[in-house]
Every structure is written in C-alpha cells, then in structure tokens.
Structure 1
C-alpha cells in the first residue's frame, strides 16, 4: 500500500464513531495513526463524525468536509477507522481523488509486511483475496461502461467474472496448503502432548514478545510497533525438571477482520492445546478495559475462553500505582514490566506452585538393576529426597501422572502434596 522506498505518504484519518465517547474516539484515532505509521505512512489530520448506528454511513455534508480537508492537506490517502463495503468506497471516491483505505485493508497490508514464514504468508494472502473478491467490481467500473451488443457481454463484465474465478481458484489452492500445514501441526502437537503448555495472548504491542524473550531467550522479533510478531513461536524451558512449552501468538486488535481470524486459525490452534493462558495487558494505555474485552471476545470466538487464565499487566513502570488497584485486586492478576523485569519472579514462583499441583508425589524404591527407571527419574522427575540402600535407592519424587505406571510395583507411598 505504502512504498517505503519513496517519500512518506501523508493522509487524513476518519473515525466514524457509532457510540460517541471522547476517550474511545481519541484512542481509536491514535490507534489508526499507529497502524498507518507501522506500514510507512503518516496521518497529518483527523476527522471524527459521531453517527448513530441507525443512520447511513456518511452524508453529503460530511463527505464534502472530507473532500475539503483532503484537498487542503494535499494528502495521498484517506483512511477510515472501520471496514467499508463496496458501496461506501464508490461513494467516497466521488469526492476525493486520492486513495481510499479502510481499516481491514490497512491491517491486511500490515500483516503482509510482517509475514515471515511460509504459513503466515499463505494465511495473509488468503485473507487478502477474501477481502478483494467482493470489491472487484470497483476495479472494473471503467470497462463495464463499454456495453456489449445484444446477447453479448461487455469486456468489463467478462474480465470481472474471469478474475473472480481465478481468485476463488487461488483461495481453494491456499486452503489445501493450509490444511496440509495443519496436518503437520497436529503431528507436531501430538509429539508435545506430555509437555505443560502455556500460551501468551493479548492486544497487539502489549509486550508479549518482549516477555517471551525474557522468559525463554527465544529471540522472537520484538519491536515497539503493531503486529511485529505474526507467527506462533514456541520455546521450551524447565521448571521442577518439567518441560514447559511457552508459545507466543499473533496480537489481537479491535475489529480484527473475520477473514484474518479464519486464515490464522491454524496458528491460533496453539491455544486449543494450552493448559494455561497468560493474557498480557498493556497497562500504560487509557483503554485497558477495552483491550481486555477485545482479547477475551476473540478467545470466546475461538472456543478457548474456558481455559485457565492469568492476567499479566505489563509496562507498570509507566503507570501510577493507584491506577492499577482496581485491576490487580483479583486472583491470578500480576503486575510486571518486561522492560525492568519487575514482577517476573512472582509469576514464575506461582507457575512452579501451579505445576506442583499437577504432579504426583511418590516415595519409591528403585533396584540398582533398573537403569530405565533411574533415567526417567532424572529426566522427568523432580527429586525431593533420596536415600542409599544396599540393593537400590529410595526416592521421594514428584512426577507427571502419566509416568506412575512405570513405578507401580516399586511404590512405597503415594502422597498428597
């Protein structure tokens, strides 16, 4: 959309505010400006129109106001804070000569810039084609005016139908590729079924990737811009000698295009496998409650809202203590700063306690000739106590429940922790 090798394109943003709220309006204007900045453009002016849901999109007077501002600002584009249908776009283009971009197009272009793996590139292309298909008519308006003769179609209509067929065919091919990738993902997840799985979720730019890097030294791309991480990245670390798989997922955003959610379902399937979800919240923003609501709604849409969840309020070094009180008085809520490392030790101490509850504490006798059991104990158990005997070792250990069968004939006591 924006060519970063040329001069920075300048434009105006338009917010159609369906539920007039001064704070919400200013936050949305800031968010759309940040989205534009992330793809290499610059918002120089903004307009806010308070329009009730029952009214049409924009009236003639409002469109003329956009027209005047676009002309006086000598802008290259007009970007809207909500998704536009074909009728909206065609109507707006009667008044402005520059590019008309809606929220969905902007997010798709940003995702396209940040897609790095084959899977995410396929997912983004599929979402872009799904967005383009119903809007193709706009691209062929000039040709459709060349009417065909009696019983003969005009060239625009013929080309339009051909293009639609090509796009549908390409979407079908991409769907098959995604299914194959998903099959590989299922096999990969089967191999990790005995691991403890924790997934990071949250609004875009909340600090998930920075936290991931600190927790695991995973080397995940972490930048102070929107959607710098698109691909699900996983890293294993150990607590109580138990392997914990921590996964970083794509950031969420208000009004995330449905086509994107559909395309990224295979990436977001990490959430289905998670034993615990860590919801990272940017506590430095004014719209904390909206962030949380958006993320929770997407989790509900993905049918994973019933998973156990901890809230990690990040960037508390940028916030006054009293502002955090109403959010942090509940259970499973943590204040932290991925930048200063404040609060991280408490999170991982509590994770250790949480893991302890999922393990079994046993007292066993292991004969010296059972090398296989010694290997399991040292590889996957956590030794609390050990005593040397003449013919073997007596251990008090904690281990995953699925390993109990290996030791059943040697158990001296199965204890409650």
Structure 2
C-alpha cells in the first residue's frame, strides 16, 4: 500500500467512535497515526465521528465532510479506525475520491513490510488473501453491470469467480506449508523438553524485544515502531545452571484482525509450551488498562490464559503518576525499565526462587566410572555441595524432576522443595 522508496503519502484518519470517550478517542487516533508512520505514511488531519451502535455507518453529510477535507489537505488516502466491510467501502467510494483503507488493511501492510522469515511471509500472505477474498467483488462491479440481463453470465462474473477460486487455491497451498512448518516446530519443541520455557507477550511496542536483548544478548530487532518484531525469536540463557528458553512473540494490538491471529497460530504456539508467561506492559501509556485487557483477551482466545503469568511493568522511568501502577497487585507483579535496567535484578532473583520451588533437592553418590552422570550434574543441575570419596563423589544438587530417573540407584536423600 505504501512504498517507502517514493514520496511520503499524506492521509486523513477517521475514527468511527461507537462509545464516545474523548481520551480513548484521542488515543485511538494516535495509534492509527503511529501505524501509518510505521509503514512510511503521514497523517495530516483527523476526524472523529461519534455514532451510536444501532446506526450501521456514516451518513452522506459525514462522508461529504471527509471528501472536503481530502481536497483541502491534498491527501492521498483516508484510513478508518475500524474494519470496513464491502458495503462500507462502496458507500465511502461514492463520495471519497482518494484511496480508502481500513485498520485491518493497514496492519496487514505493516506486517508485510516487517516479515523477514519464510514462515512469517507465508503467514502474512495467507492473512492478506483471507482479507481480500470477501472484498474482491468491488473490483469487478463495473464489469458485472455491463454483463446484465437475466440468464446471461457476464465476463465480470466469470472473472470474479475465477479470481476467488485462485485465491482459495492459494490459501490451501499456504495452509499446507504452515502445517508442515508446524510439524517441524513440534519436533523442535520436543528437543527442548528439558528446558524451562518462558514466553514474552504484550501490546506492540511495550518493550519486549529490548528486554529480551538485555536478558539474553539475542540481538533481536528493537525499534520504537509498532510491530518492528514480527517473527518469534527464542534464545537460551542460564540461571542456577538451568537452561531457560526465552521466546519473544509478535506484539498484540487492539482489534487484531482474526485472519492474522489464525495465520500466526504456529508462531504463537510457543505460548502453548511455555512454563511461564511474562506479560510486558508499557507503564507510560494512558490506556494501560485497555492494553492489558487486549493482551489478556488474546491469551484467552489462544487457550493459554491458565498459564502462570508475571506482569512486567516496563518504562516506569517515564511514569508521571505512580497510582497507575497499582491497577494490578500481587507477587507476580514487577516494575522495571529495560532502558535504565531498573528492576531487572529483582526479576531474575525472583526467577531463581521460582526455579528452586519447581525443582527437587537431592543428595547423590556418583561412582567415578559414571561419566554420564557427572556430565548431567555439571551441565544441568545446580550444585549446592560436593564431597570427595574414595570411589566417587557425593553431591547435594537441585535437579529437575525429568532428570531424577538417571539417579534413582544413587540417591542418598531426597528433599521436595
């Protein structure tokens, strides 16, 4: 839609506000503006229309107002804050002469620009085709009119059906590719079964990637742009000699297109395997509560809301009113700044305690001829104490339950933690 190599396209944002609220309305306009900026465009004017739920869409006078602003601002496009169906689009195009796009199309375009791996490119293409299919009719309206007449199948109708059939065929091909990718993902996750898996989630631009870079030195792309990180990235770091697999997932956003959630289900499958979810929150946002609700709702839709979850309130260095940080209370709440590194040591101290509480403390005797057990202890266990004997070593270690079977014949004492 936008080409960053050409001149910056100027546009108007239109918010159809079903629940009039000045603060929320302004924040939605700001979010649309940020989305447009992220794809290389610029919002020069904004309009907010407060419309009751019972009314389907904008009226003639409101559409004419948009067109007058398009002309006076010399705009290249109009972007709507909500998803538009075919009827909405046709109504708008009767009055508005420039390019008309909606929130969903805008997000899809941004995802397309930021897709870097083969998997994410397939996922985005599938979502784009799912979006295009029900809106394809408008491209052939002029042809179907020419076809006219009862019992006459015009060229417009034939072309439309052909295009729809090709899109469905392509979606089927992409689905097969995603299924194969998902199978590979299952095998990859099997190889990681002995790791503790932590997944980062949160509203887009909350600071997940910056936090991940600090935690793992992963070098994940981190920019002050919406959806700068699109591909799921996983890196390993160690605490108490325990390998932790930390995964950074795609950021969420209000009214995330269902086609995107469906297409990215394989990427988001990292959440299904997670032992712990870290929900990163941008504390500096006025709509912080709304962003938390959006993320939690998507987690519920993905059937992972029952996972153990910590809230990491990021960017506390930018918070002007501390009361905003009291909206969620409990031991699972942490305050931090990925920029200044404030609070990070506390998070990892608590992660150590969390790991210890999930492990078992045992005292084992390991004969000198059991090199395999020595390797497991030094590579995957946390050694609390060790004592040299004539024919082997006695260790007091913290160990994960799945490794206990290796030591069943050598355990001197077992203490549940």
Q: Same fold (TM over 0.5)?
A: yes
Change beyond 3 A, Cα 1:20–1:148: closer
Alpha carbons 1:201, 1:250 under 8 Å: kept: yes
Distance 1:70 1:146 in 2: 31
Residue pairs, 1:87-98, within 5 angstroms? 87-98=87-98
Alpha carbons 1:328, 1:335 under 8 Å: kept: no
Change beyond 3 A, Cα 1:97–1:321: closer
Alpha carbons 2:383, 2:398 under 8 Å: kept: yes
How far 1:161 moved relative to its partner? 0.6
1:282-320: CA deviation from partner (whole Å, max 9, x where unpaired): 111110000000000000000000000000011111113
Change beyond 3 A, Cα 1:321–1:351: farther
Unmatched segments (≥5 aa) in structure 2: none
Alpha carbons 1:361, 1:398 under 8 Å: kept: yes
How far 1:366 moved relative to its partner? 1.4
Pick which of 327-336 and 138-147 moved more: 327-336
- The secondary structure found in structure 2 opposite 1:262 is helix
TM-score, normalised to structure 1, is 0.98
Paired residue total: 417
TM-score, normalised to structure 2, is 0.98
Alpha carbons 1:108, 1:128 under 8 Å: kept: yes
Supply the RMSD in Å over aligned alpha carbons: 1.1
Alpha carbons 1:232, 1:248 under 8 Å: kept: yes
Pick which of 135-144 and 242-251 moved more: 135-144
1:158-182: CA deviation from partner (whole Å, max 9, x where unpaired): 1001000000000000000000000
Distance 1:229 1:184 in 2: 22
How far 1:331 moved relative to its partner? 2.2
How far 1:324 moved relative to its partner? 4.0
Distance 1:36 1:172 in 2: 31
Unmatched segments (≥5 aa) in structure 1: none
Alpha carbons 1:9, 1:42 under 8 Å: kept: yes
- The secondary structure found in structure 1 opposite 2:147 is coil
How far 1:149 moved relative to its partner? 6.2
Pick which of 55-64 and 241-250 moved more: 55-64
Displaced runs of 4 or more, over 6 A:
none
Distance 1:120 1:31 in 2: 23
Pick which of 182-191 and 53-62 moved more: 53-62
Pick which of 391-400 and 252-261 moved more: 391-400
Distance 1:319 1:148 in 2: 63
Distance 1:21 1:108 in 2: 27
Alpha carbons 1:148, 1:155 under 8 Å: kept: no
Distance 1:266 1:180 in 2: 10
How far 1:10 moved relative to its partner? 0.5
Distance 1:390 1:413 in 2: 20
How far 1:150 moved relative to its partner? 6.1
Matching residue of 2:246: 246
Distance 1:163 1:123 in 2: 20
- The secondary structure found in structure 2 opposite 1:145 is helix
Distance 1:152 1:376 in 2: 76
Pick which of 359-368 and 201-210 moved more: 359-368
How far 1:327 moved relative to its partner? 3.3
Alpha carbons 2:282, 2:313 under 8 Å: kept: yes
How far 1:90 moved relative to its partner? 0.5
1:83-139: CA deviation from partner (whole Å, max 9, x where unpaired): 000000010001111000000000000000000000000000000000000111111
Change beyond 3 A, Cα 1:148–1:247: same
Distance 1:273 1:150 in 2: 57
Alpha carbons 1:89, 1:100 under 8 Å: kept: yes
Distance 2:301 2:390 in 1: 60
Alpha carbons 2:283, 2:325 under 8 Å: kept: no
Alpha carbons 2:205, 2:226 under 8 Å: kept: yes
Pick which of 176-185 and 312-321 moved more: 312-321
How far 1:321 moved relative to its partner? 5.7
Change beyond 3 A, Cα 1:328–1:343: farther
How far 1:328 moved relative to its partner? 5.7
